[in-house]
Chain A
């Protein structure tokens, strides 16, 4: 990993406001993600976690505020240009293409790229990271189990060679054993240098792997701290970790 001496964070979200019709979904969110970090956004249902990711990926447009990635303003970059800019996302509910084979799904992850050899190489890397996917590479993705689909969605996002990986609720709908593996993978990818922004309802697990965390409540950040500190915070323990 290259240590970069720079004052600016990899991702800077400045005071974004977003609306669904008349509903003020994000009320001036400001946060940042540094190179090499895992940052998590936690909060209950409807707090605006997914909306934040949708705003970063331009699937919805914030009415106010800016989103900077590597110092470039990406607030209005169309969603389909983001992989080329270095941002990839594992969407909520995984979003694998059920009728495409595992390998075709992975190829779609590398859609913007034209370097055939590089793509070949990354396919091998993906299969090394998730050997299960290699076994199933010619199977259509709809026949995979939930855990395998999560692996596929993660591997597919990595095929874009991103510098920032956005993960939306990776634990959703998975058996506890599988959730463990998913989070192990996230840590592993991060150790290899990937910066991760993780949105998760399972706050306990999220705070275990993350370096820092933000607590969202009805579209606002109410707490920002290191993951370790958040875990000790009585408020967080009570509300999000289920401890009394």
Chain B
């Protein structure tokens, strides 16, 4: 600012209405959050046990967001493109695998060997979603490599509809439920806190998958090549790295994680899956990826968990204290408000770096 040459109107140019409104907004939001939280906590409407169980439920939901968010962030890291059809990649695995899960349940295999059955389901869904992601890359995105950045973005939205209605055509539009797994139905009692077993199981399964991804990206040759390509494609080619191969690999991993998330989600939320199920989690996961800093792997993990917890705890904590009725149904408001706030106040995300010349 100081380097701007002072003109006759210089004094007025320093004052920006946009900055003023944004700062006012910042103050208002902080006040609302403080007042709301204080009100709720002081009123004692919720017990400590309730907060803990909300928090754990949030972690479980958040770990599913994190798995999907990784797909967005990995692809962005390599191609600087938001794959808006990623929610449908998630859906394709979850929806296809529901039939296998029901078959496992009918045959009794699911309850006889729950761990093995769930692992098979996760692998199957991972393979389905991986195939869909690879086809998407090959047929929809690769021909547009080098086109202006808006073009693949619009294509992604088109591909998203295409996948939704293809799966509607294949499997109909009715909801299908993942069978309940006997071993996951109980609750864990810690003191006076009661936590459904499925929640920590979901969380741990997601953590294992994320640890696997982290190992892949940090330790393996392909992972290192991925990071190299995301920094500099031209030099990567000079090193002998086949860029197309790395891009396919990236879509494949993102797809596999999304498919796995689909099964985990099915076990966690038995209300059923259908062709449209990918839309909201897709956008939420995108929010999580932006929240953590798009392109940043640790950011996507953290962003997902953070969003899940905020969504679970936030409505009761803030909205309830402000006297807004039906606050526990407002978690989507929290999620998307977070997206808007992050985009305004910290566009690079929690762990992201500022978008410099390279990305811009």
Contact = CB atoms under 8 A, between A and B. Distances in A.
A59 B233 CA distance: 11
A6 to B, nearest CB: 27
A80 B228 contact: no
Interface residues of B, number: 17
A97 B237 contact: no
B64 interface: no
A27 B32 CA distance: 68
A57 B239 CA distance: 11
B124 to A, nearest CB: 31
A144 B203 CA distance: 39
Contact of A97 (B221, B227, B242, B243): B227
Interface in A22-67: 57, 59
Contacts of B238: 57, 59, 79-80, 82-83, 88-89, 91, 95
Nearest to A91: B235
Q: Which size class do A's interface residues fall under?
A: 20 to 34
Contact of B231 (A79, A99, A111): A99
Interface string B69-108: 0000000000000000000000000000000000000000
Contacts of B221: 107, 111
Nearest to B230: A99
Given A107-B221, A111-B221, A79 B237 contact: yes
Given A91-B235, A95-B235, A97-B235, A112 B228 contact: no
Interface in B213-241: 221, 224-225, 227-228, 231-232, 234-241
Contacts of A160: 239-240
A109 interface: yes
Contacts of B225: 108, 111
Nearest to B231: A97
A104 B219 CA distance: 10
Nearest to A98: B231
Contacts of B242: 80
Give 7 closest A-B pairs by Cβ, nearest first.
Answer: A112-B240, A95-B235, A83-B240, A79-B237, A111-B240, A80-B237, A108-B239
12 contacts: A78-B237, A79-B237, A80-B238, A82-B238, A83-B238, A83-B240, A91-B235, A91-B238, A100-B224, A107-B221, A111-B225, A111-B239
